[in-house]
Amino acid sequence: MVGTTSRKGRIRAAKPEEAATISALALRSKAHWGYARSFLEAAKETLTLTPADIDARAVNVMELNGEVIGFYGLSIHDDDSLWLDYLFIDPGVIGYGFGKKLWRHAVVNAGTLNHSAIFLECDRYSRPFYERMGAVCIAQIYSPYAEGERLPIMRYAL
Distance between CA 23 and CA 20 in Å, rounded? 5
Provide the residue ranges of all domains of the chain, joining segments of one domain with +.
4-157
Predicted model pTM = 0.89
For 54-66, letters b (16+ CB in 10 Å) and e give beebbbbbbebee
Beta strands in the chain (DSSP E): 4-6, 9-13, 58-64, 67-76, 82-89, 117-121, 136-142, 150-157
pLDDT for the residue 1 = 34
Residue whose C-alpha is closest to residue 30's, from 49, 18, 47:
47
- Note the pLDDT of residue 5: 44
Residue 153: the pLDDT is 95
Q: What is the CATH number of domain 4-157?
A: 3.40.630.30
Q: Which residues of the chain have pLDDT under 70?
A: 1-7
Dihedral over Cα of 54, 58, 63, 69: its sign: negative
